[in-house]
Structure 1
Amino acid sequence: MKETWKRMLCAAVLTMGITSTGILTVEAHGLWEALGKSVLGGISVHQHLSDLDNTEKGQQEMLEKTKDRTGVYDNYAYQMRAKRIVDELSKSPHVKRSYVVYVNPDEDFNAFMTFGRVMSINKGTMDLLDDDALAAVIGHELSHGEHKDLVNGAKKSSILSTVIGAATFNSGDLGQIAAGLTGKYLDSQVFTMSQEKMLMN
């Protein structure tokens, strides 16, 4: 955490602008104002992401947003099969958080975990795998949720964006920043199997 705030400070200073002689061109008052905005921005983003990931309200919000983005496969048997396997795996003492899961209509082979402990499984994955293999895929996604991989990655990445925006006095409303960053990660930073295979190679 100490290193994170050091990076925030450095980013705020760097974005203030330096003359050709290497001297900061802003007054101390402007610098402190920017740093104050940076700290508040970082806190706001962290709190927003934590609320999404740790509360029932956040989970329901992300479930609706994710369903809107992917669509939902209209088949009761598919939805219950996914839920049954998640429920069984959740009985393990290693699974300490609660999850919701749904099947989307995509025919490709994929599954992902996003903010709010929301998991989505492609229809194509369900069609290809038997229950044992599907449980392995779901267990892998649950591990992302247990380690809070997505939200921790978003927090690390969003801090610099918030700091830079605040330091250049273009931050706007901090709540809007937090919501915008969440949307950005919902669209681009889900953990997909293809991404993970590339990282392991």
Structure 2
Amino acid sequence: MKRIASILFILCGMSTLTTAQIDPRLIQAGIDAISSITITDKQIAEYSRQAVRQMDAKYPVAGPNDPYTQRLNRIVARHRNVGGIPINYKVYNVKDVNAFATADGSVRVFKGLMDLMTDAEILSVIGHEIGHVANKDSRDAMKAALRRSAIRNGLASRSGAVGELARSQIGAAADYFAGAKFSRDQETEADDYSYAFLKRYGYPVIPLATAFEKLSKQGGGNVPAFLSTHPDSRTRAQRIRERARRDGLAR
């Protein structure tokens, strides 16, 4: 509450200036800062739905009779509602090795990932993505992004070298790396969720490890771009295998 009051005080102080004197980026910085504190789960879910609609329009979506859609439907047949959250699944007919989930319960799997993995491995990735939804990672990521945007816009409104830096690609890169550690923490938690998810429903847990091992071999040893901020895939696979051995689920 004190942070909101401080931001409002700054914005009210701006009201003594004419519109021409106020840099729009400074106004946006204030809006982003307030939003990062006050945004609700319901709002984030709605923003997620809007974003997914744009993604669905951008990428070719496999139709209901497409073999990829039918295969995915078989894999996730038992998991249309997880923890009270309705999950909707679609396949993108794109060769990229990728998958993602958003706060509204949308899970999207790319054709390239399905070509690479077995049904059990795909399910382990699905469990991981559902983990992001259940852990409300989209909410936390959006709040963090708004906070970083507020700082960047505030700096960009200034003149001189500091403002130029914030407006540059270096400023954008700094914003990206500022969120990288946060993303790694989320990924580890989603890995744990997937492991528990597979174990709870009686599925083997080792496919979660083999999925990571396959990802680690993509591109001659380089992981796909969407994993660039994530923990190393081989390390994640080893962690899963060690846990499975401790639980008596693997040798």
In the other structure, the counterpart of 1:88 is: 78
1:140 pairs with 124, 128, 136, which one?
Answer: 128
Q: Give the letter aligned to residue 146 of structure 2.
A: S
* Post-superposition CA distance 1:1-29 (Å, at most 9, x none): 87xx38x959x98xx9xxxxxxxxxxx93
Asked if the contact 2:80–2:88 (Cα under 8 Å) also holds between the matched residues in 1, the reply is: no
* Post-superposition CA distance 1:49-96 (Å, at most 9, x none): 7345435xx56433321112333235523123323433413455xx33
1:62 pairs with 48, 51, 61, which one?
Answer: 51
Partner SS state of residue 78, structure 2: helix
TM-score with structure 1 setting the length = 0.57
Structure of higher RCO (CA pairs closer than 8 Å, 6+ residues apart): 1
| Residue 50 of structure 2 is aligned to residue 50 of structure 1 | no
Q: CA deviation at 1:152?
A: 0.9
Q: How far apart are the structure 2 equivalents of 1:32 and 1:163?
A: 22
Q: CA deviation at 1:140?
A: 0.4
Mapping 1:8-157, distance limit 5 Å: 29-30=13-14, 41-44=32-35, 50-55=41-46, 60-74=49-63, 76-90=66-80, 95-157=83-145
Q: CA deviation at 1:141?
A: 0.5
2:230 pairs with 169, 191, 196, which one?
Answer: 196
Q: CA deviation at 1:101?
A: 1.6
Partner SS state of residue 120, structure 1: strand
Q: How far apart are the structure 2 equivalents of 1:77 and 1:162?
A: 45
| Count of residue correspondences | 164
Q: CA deviation at 1:199?
A: 8.3
Partner SS state of residue 196, structure 1: coil
Asked if the contact 1:41–1:166 (Cα under 8 Å) also holds between the matched residues in 2, the reply is: no
Deviates most, 81-90 or 119-128: 81-90
Give the gaps of 5 or more residues in structure 2: 159-175, 188-225, 236-251
Asked if the contact 1:102–1:121 (Cα under 8 Å) also holds between the matched residues in 2, the reply is: yes
Give the gaps of 5 or more residues in structure 1: 17-27, 171-184
* Post-superposition CA distance 1:108-166 (Å, at most 9, x none): 32211234322211101112222211110100011011111122112122124236647
Partner SS state of residue 101, structure 2: strand
Partner SS state of residue 153, structure 1: helix
Q: Give the letter aligned to residue 70 of structure 2.
A: M
Partner SS state of residue 96, structure 2: coil
How big is the alpha-carbon RMSD for the aligned residues of Structure 1 and Structure 2? 4.6
Asked if the contact 1:52–1:62 (Cα under 8 Å) also holds between the matched residues in 2, the reply is: no
TM-score with structure 2 setting the length = 0.48
Q: How far apart are the structure 2 equivalents of 1:53 and 1:30?
A: 29
Q: How far apart are the structure 2 equivalents of 1:86 and 1:32?
A: 58
Structure 1 pair 98–42 and aligned structure 2 pair: CA distance change class (3 A): farther
